[in-house]
Structure 1
Amino acid sequence: MNPNPLDRNALLHEHAVIGGHRIAHGTHGSGEPVVLVHGTPSSSYIWRGVVPSIVAAGYRVHVFDLLGYGLSERPWDTAADTSVTGNVAILEGLLDVWGIDGFHLVAHDIGGGVAQRFAVEHASRLRSLTLIDVVSFDSYPSPRTREQMSEGLDVLAKKSDRDHRTHFTRWLLSTHSSPDNFDPAALREYVDYISGPIGQPSFFVHQVAHYDPRHTLEISDRLGELAGIPVRLVWGADDAWQTLERGRALHGAIPGSELHIIADCGHFSPEERPTEVAREIVDMLDSCATRH
């Protein structure tokens, strides 16, 4: 663990209304802008051990919770678009709030779908792209999640709090190379985000319901266009959710990209190995600075 991680209230200390929805966000440090995009079933909380190292390296870090996630709004209207594509618009709106044009983009898990869509549409705005254990092509939802979804999201949303928490505690433990590596306090935090009278139904309506690979498949034939920007893929060697095979396939689809593998690390690499992940991000940022 990073010795000085930020808590969630320190990470996200501001709010903005984007497209009529409240988005929690935060800015840390000064220097070239770096935007971090989290995945599911998490929030920007997953970056708390990474942000201090990037700031210490001389960069300005922007974090936010996706619409329908974490401390951002969980819309009452089920028609609100909290999908990968819908959250591209949230990112675009926040860039205006932050006054950012060119920047470095870093993403994890489903946040990587948001990042890929943004990148192919706005490649000229990116100084670099770092993708960490991300979804791509048709790599999601997993067979296990598809099986669960077949029960019906309404049924899952109404399961007892105890059963829900027990199930997803086990599910989250599989994001680490070893369950023993998952800090118990952090595990409770992740489960709390997707549990309770708001968190549990919101998890299925705003997250699981949008586990649809069309969001990445629609732009998969344009990944070659990213050859013009520095791209680094960072992967946990023991990722059971987005396997290393998936990382190698994405690496092959983006000409000139680099693939860096972190040993003894699962899918939640920013949580399990924050020091190593921060080192990869800072190395990427610094290498871009030397090119210019």
Structure 2
Amino acid sequence: MTLLTDSLIVDGVRLAYRDRGQGEPVIFIHGTPSHSYEWRQVVPHIEATGFRAVTYDLLGYGLSERPVDRDTSVAAQTNLLEHLLDALDIDQASIVAHDIGGAIGQRFAVAHPERVRRLMIVDSVSYDSWPSSTWRKIIDENLDDFTSMSQDAFNTLLTRQLKMTVADESLMTGDVLQAYLAPHQSAPGRVSFFEHQVRHYDSKYTEEISDQLGRLTMPVRILWGEEDRWQPLHYAKRLSGDIPDADLVVVPKAGHFVMEDAPERVVHEINDFLGTPAPVTAHG
């Protein structure tokens, strides 16, 4: 399933996105190694509930532009999110953010609290939680010479990592696995993966805001797969302790890509958190 259908120029770069529905806006931010495909079993249901759902591929990811000379770090992606909201004429939105997208969501909420109606953090990187040990090994062994890696070797590496994202590894096979691998089935795709994603696996982006999480006043829900092998549950508990009045919802038999293991539960939790859509004037 192709979730994204359109493109938009934002701050001089092209982002692939989807903007559907006429209600209160909700922004979905995906994680890594991923793209908006991860939301395919979630976003259409949120749209159907009566929300305006905006989903996009981060710069350098998925179907978005892969710039040669543009910063695609978490900090830069956070700035780009502000430009995206401006381009879509959205003053305030709820944010549902996963993994590295969760770092973007945290940073944006800290920097622009008036623009975040609600924040849901899904199996997010936080504090010093990332990169995980397996990604650290990949960075140490491959980041300096990845251009010489064959497609088969790359696919083997990324498949091994992707299978760690689910509690039920049978879910990360066949067409689903191929969809996650798809953006990287070429030399430019492999280069982009390391340059735009892996190179920016750096906990400084969450550590430098960790002492500001206690200032957040918008409703926050933390949704976590109990069997997350990359972001252990104790980080979710730490977040829920540091963010005032944050809810923590733990999903059993689910891993880091909780939306693959338990999509119906994710839809339920998002709808429950967002509540009844507030009336919003139609966007033009």
Deviation string for 1:10-58 (max 9, x for gaps)? Answer: x222212222211111111221100000011101111111011111211
How far apart, in 2, do the equivalents of 1:271 and 1:42 lie? 12
2:229 alignment partner, one of 236, 240, 253: 240
Between 239-248 and 268-277, report the one with greater CA deviation: 268-277
Give the 3-state SS of the residue equivalent to 2:275 in structure 1. helix
1:249 alignment partner, one of 227, 230, 238: 238
1:277 alignment partner, one of 266, 269, 275: 266
How far apart, in 2, do the equivalents of 1:58 and 1:201 lie? 39
After the TM superposition, which residues 74-93 of structure 1 pair with which residues of structure 2 at under 5 Å, given as runs?
74-77=66-69, 80-93=70-83
Deviation string for 1:217-253 (max 9, x for gaps)? Answer: 1111100011x11000000011001111111111111
- The unaligned stretches of length 5 or more in structure 2 are 279-284
Contact 1:12–1:26 under 8 Å retained in 2? yes
| 1:222 paired residue number | 212
User: Structure 1 residues 204, 123: closer, same or farther in 2, change over 3 A?
Assistant: same
| 2:197 paired residue number | 207
2:5 maps to a residue whose letter is H
> Per-residue deviation at 1:104?
0.6
How far apart, in 1, do the equivalents of 2:38 and 2:138 lie? 24
How far apart, in 2, do the equivalents of 1:109 and 1:248 lie? 15
Deviation string for 1:174-203 (max 9, x for gaps)? Answer: 100021132521111111223321211110
2:222 maps to a residue whose letter is L
Contact 2:229–2:255 under 8 Å retained in 1? yes
After the TM superposition, which residues 123-272 of structure 1 pair with which residues of structure 2 at under 5 Å, given as runs?
123-226=113-216, 228-272=217-261
User: Structure 1 residues 211, 284: closer, same or farther in 2, change over 3 A?
Assistant: same
1:61 alignment partner, one of 50, 53, 58: 53
1:274 maps to a residue whose letter is P
How far apart, in 2, do the equivalents of 1:161 and 1:55 lie? 37
How far apart, in 2, do the equivalents of 1:63 and 1:38 lie? 8
> Per-residue deviation at 1:274?
1.4
Contact 2:10–2:84 under 8 Å retained in 1? yes
Contact 1:158–1:201 under 8 Å retained in 2? no
> Per-residue deviation at 1:154?
3.4
> Per-residue deviation at 1:96?
1.1
Identity %: 46
> Per-residue deviation at 1:287?
6.7
Give the 3-state SS of the residue equivalent to 2:145 in structure 1. helix
Q: How does the TM-score come out when normalised to structure 1? A: 0.92
Contact 1:157–1:204 under 8 Å retained in 2? no
Between 156-165 and 64-73, report the one with greater CA deviation: 156-165
Between 154-163 and 32-41, report the one with greater CA deviation: 154-163
Structure 1 segments of 4+ aligned residues over 6 angstroms from their partners: none
CA RMSD of aligned residues (A): 1.4
Does residue 47 (structure 1) correspond to residue 29 (structure 2)? The answer is no
Deviation string for 1:199-220 (max 9, x for gaps)? Answer: 1111001110111111111111
The number of residues matched between the two structures is 278
Between 47-56 and 188-197, report the one with greater CA deviation: 188-197
- The unaligned stretches of length 5 or more in structure 1 are 1-6
Deviation string for 1:59-100 (max 9, x for gaps)? Answer: 1100110001000011122xx110111101211111011110
Give the 3-state SS of the residue equivalent to 1:61 in structure 2. strand
Give the 3-state SS of the residue equivalent to 1:99 in structure 2. coil
2:253 maps to a residue whose letter is D
Give the 3-state SS of the residue equivalent to 1:151 in structure 2. helix
Contact 2:27–2:94 under 8 Å retained in 1? yes
Contact 1:164–1:195 under 8 Å retained in 2? no
Contact 1:248–1:259 under 8 Å retained in 2? yes
1:216 maps to a residue whose letter is T
